[in-house]
Amino acid sequence: MKIPLRTIVCQLACFAFVSVPLSCGVSANYSMSGSTTNAETISILEFYNNADLGPANMSQVFTNDLKNYFVQNSNLSVVVEEGELQLEGEISDLRITPISPTATGNPTDINRASSTRLTITVRATYINTLDENMSFKDKSFSFYKDFDNELNMSDVEEAFIKEIFQRIINDIFNASVANW
């Protein structure tokens, strides 16, 4: 049986890719928890809603979702105050913007948008008491959701905010304890 040269080259490349770093003393630090910190505790203060818009419970929803995400995706224990890691911030903006303008073809008609964008921005400060170089101050995290104007905003607002929060929380986690 004749093995194609392409197959042999691919196998050698894969072998070299795996074995050369190991033989050179290169190692990777990977954690199944997603966290690369040696800390054991984190304190997460209430993220207040300083945006002009949004539901009244937005602050509590975001803070609770953030705490739950850290508990589920790391070995950290959430403490009320003075954790080895400390996270605080605010929901600084919630904006609803028309996008995707559509022309009517009639110069006397008003052009309307066919879609709307819901954007949320959160500003966070992260303090790592074990490694000050990992800390950041007033870093903005933002994400958006586009939706058709045929949808009633009050019907979809809660679900869209939850979806945007999940993306922002993931970004905050990655910027802090996952060190991405």
Start-to-end CA span in the chain (Å):
47
pLDDT in tens, 29-49: 333 345 567 899 999 999 999
The CATH architecture of the domain made up of 37-175 is 2-Layer Sandwich (3.30)
Domain locations in the chain? 37-175
Phi, psi of 21 (to 5 degrees): -60, -35
pLDDT in tens, 117-128: 999 999 999 999
* Tokens encoding 66: 């953030």
Q: Mean pLDDT in the chain?
A: 81
Q: Is 41 exposed, middle or buried, given 0-12, 13-18 or 19+ CB atoms closer than 10 A?
A: middle
Res 109 pLDDT > 90: no
Q: What is the C-alpha separation between 176 and 37, in angstroms, rounded?
A: 9
Give mean pLDDT, residues 110-115: 71
Residue 26's pLDDT band, with cuts at 50, 70 and 90, is very low
* Adjacent-strand bridge partners of 112: 102
DSSP 35: -
* Tokens encoding 121: 């921005």
Calculate helix-pair angle for 153-175, 58-73, nearest 10 degrees.
40
Q: What is the C-alpha separation between 149 and 146, in angstroms, rounded?
A: 9
* Tokens encoding 155: 């019907």
Residue 85 is predicted with a pLDDT of: 96
Residue 24 is predicted with a pLDDT of: 43
* Adjacent-strand bridge partners of 49: 91
Give mean pLDDT, residues 79-88: 94
Residues 6+ apart with CB under 8 A from 120: 51, 54, 91, 93, 94, 95, 142, 143, 144, 161, 164, 165, 168
Residue 20, helix vs strand vs coil:
helix
Confidence (pTM): 0.74
